[in-house]
Chains A and B, each alone.
Chain A
Amino acid sequence: MNVKASRSDAYSILSEIKQTHRAVVSDRYVRHILKDNKVDLKMHLIDYLWNLGIRLGINRNNYKVPTGLYEFGTPSADSPVLVTCNYKLTFDYLRRYLKKDYWVLVIDTDGVNVWCAAGKGRFGTLEVVRMLLNTKLSVNHNEIILPQLAAPGVESHLVTKITKKKIIYGPVRIEDMDAFIEHGITEPMRHVTFNLKNRLLLAPIELISSLKYMGAAYLLGLLPFMPKETFWIFLAASAIGNVLHPVLLPVLPFKRFFLNGLLLSALLLPFVKADVTSIGVVMLGMLYTSFITLNFTGSTTFTSLTGVEREMSTAIPFMLKWGAVATLTVIVGILMEVL
């Protein structure tokens, strides 16, 4: 079920909760770290192995923690209450970085991370209210800490109105949570950053999912009159788009991603040989790089929908023309060989 992120009122939230039935989530990924609701904070080899698999795209859409209230450390009635998503990768960040004692309420976001789930309304007012109403908290305070990045999905004043809980938005990164509890918020805790490590986290999964096209490129290269390097051209195009572009992102000259991609894809030019066909294939490779970099807009933390639509209004017609010219060049090249 997809709940749209939009403003709503208390009545519609409550009536929707009555109609919502959630599926039970398997606990196979967390069974070894749970003793009743107590969480083992030590990361085990199996956690790292599964997490590595997720980063490589294996079972990425089914890596969930059952919803409910968990104990991190030995929380008391004074301990803070945190709310988080049910993505196991996120849950493991909590296990690694929370050193103080907390109650952690895991809500159902379909195994999607906090920010993405909030953007789609899944980490939303409805789910937060539903879980708060259905959970018995034995604490002597009234504060609930939500991740800051849940804010696009949650109307905090509405949650307060229905549940009478005070909603506090915590820091962006869970690493800062202990310091936030101790000393309160500081400016950097509220900033979303996009450093080299963040930019490269998605590179493995993108490279691997591009391999299926590499098979097609390999077969294309086997056809008569096609350049033998076809496979390598597309592999290089994928590497430039998926690895080099994220690395160089802060120093690239254009604001439009597809132009930066096109610029970097000039690295493919040495593949051009004396024949016309190779020019066409290299042009197709450049188009591929440019398309990958256009799609990287979705992985960044600083693009807006209106901006992306603006970029695409020039990028897509340009790419279609480029693709047409490239294909024609290949055909002309082959004809020249044949005739």
Chain B
Amino acid sequence: MKYLDVATLSFEKEKCIGCKRCLEVCPHQVFEMREGIELSHKDKCIECGACQMNCPASAITVKVGTGCASAVIKDYLKRFKSVRRFLKDKCC
């Protein structure tokens, strides 16, 4: 199953030191080992940020977030002080 191919993931190959941490942490195998590491399945990226967090060379950048519509709605509603206290932060 794939979602809309709009993820903000980008990879600067020149900075890569080849530690392969990104191969290890990505839950959707977005990176691939060919001649060096390649960003070969960007369309599968879910922007969890695991690769960016664990890249010691800062070669990976991504706008991190959770693909959750109700979280987006809740974040929007939190801007209004009057409704904020009715929102329970019970989900992830």
Residues of A within 8 A of B (CB): 5, 7, 60-61, 112-113, 115-120, 148-149, 151-157, 169, 172, 187, 190-192, 194, 249-250, 255-257, 294-295, 297-298, 300-312, 315
B53 touches A119 (CB 8 A): no
B27 touches A149 (CB 8 A): yes
| Residues in B3-47 with C-beta less than 8 Å from chain A | 3-4, 6-8, 21, 24-29, 44-47
**What's the minimum C-beta distance from B42 to chain A, rounded to whole angstroms?**
10
Q: Is the interface of B mostly helix, strand, loop or mixed?
A: loop
A7 touches B27 (CB 8 A): no
> In the complex the two chains form, what is the Cα distance from A89 to B62 in whole Å?
31
Q: A298-B91, A301-B27 are in contact. Are A152 and B50 (CB under 8 A)?
A: yes
Residues of chain A within 8 A of B47, CB atoms compared:
304-306
A306 touches B63 (CB 8 A): yes
B46 touches A302 (CB 8 A): yes
B24 touches A311 (CB 8 A): no
Residues of B within 8 A of A (CB): 1-4, 6-8, 21, 24-29, 44-54, 56, 58, 63-72, 90-92
A148 touches B27 (CB 8 A): yes
Residues of chain A within 8 A of B58, CB atoms compared:
7
Q: A152-B48, A190-B29, A310-B6 are in contact. Are A61 and B63 (CB under 8 A)?
A: no
Residues of chain B within 8 A of A119, CB atoms compared:
48-49, 66, 92
B68 touches A297 (CB 8 A): yes
Contact of B67 among A117, A154, A190, A308 (CB under 8 A): A308
Residues of chain B within 8 A of A116, CB atoms compared:
92
Residues of chain B within 8 A of A309, CB atoms compared:
72
User: Can you spell out 12 A-B residue pairs with CB atoms less than 8 angstroms apart?
Assistant: A5-B64, A119-B49, A151-B24, A152-B50, A157-B21, A169-B24, A298-B67, A298-B70, A303-B67, A308-B67, A311-B4, A312-B72
Q: A117-B92, A148-B24 are in contact. Are A302 and B3 (CB under 8 A)?
A: yes
Contact of A297 among B56, B67, B91 (CB under 8 A): B67
**What's the minimum C-beta distance from B54 to chain A, rounded to whole angstroms?**
5
Residues of chain A within 8 A of B67, CB atoms compared:
297-298, 300, 303-305, 307-308
Q: A155-B53, A305-B63 are in contact. Are A294 and B69 (CB under 8 A)?
A: yes
> In the complex the two chains form, what is the Cα distance from A255 to B6 in whole Å?
12
> In the complex the two chains form, what is the Cα distance from A315 to B70 in whole Å?
13
B46 (CB) vs chain A CBs: closest residue: A304
Q: A294-B69, A302-B28, A305-B66 are in contact. Are A255 and B4 (CB under 8 A)?
A: yes
Q: A298-B91, A303-B46 are in contact. Are A156 and B54 (CB under 8 A)?
A: yes
Residues of chain B within 8 A of A191, CB atoms compared:
27-29
Highest count of chain A CB atoms <10 Å: which of B2, B8, B91, B92: B92
> In the complex the two chains form, what is the Cα distance from A309 to B71 in whole Å?
11
> In the complex the two chains form, what is the Cα distance from A302 to B1 in whole Å?
7
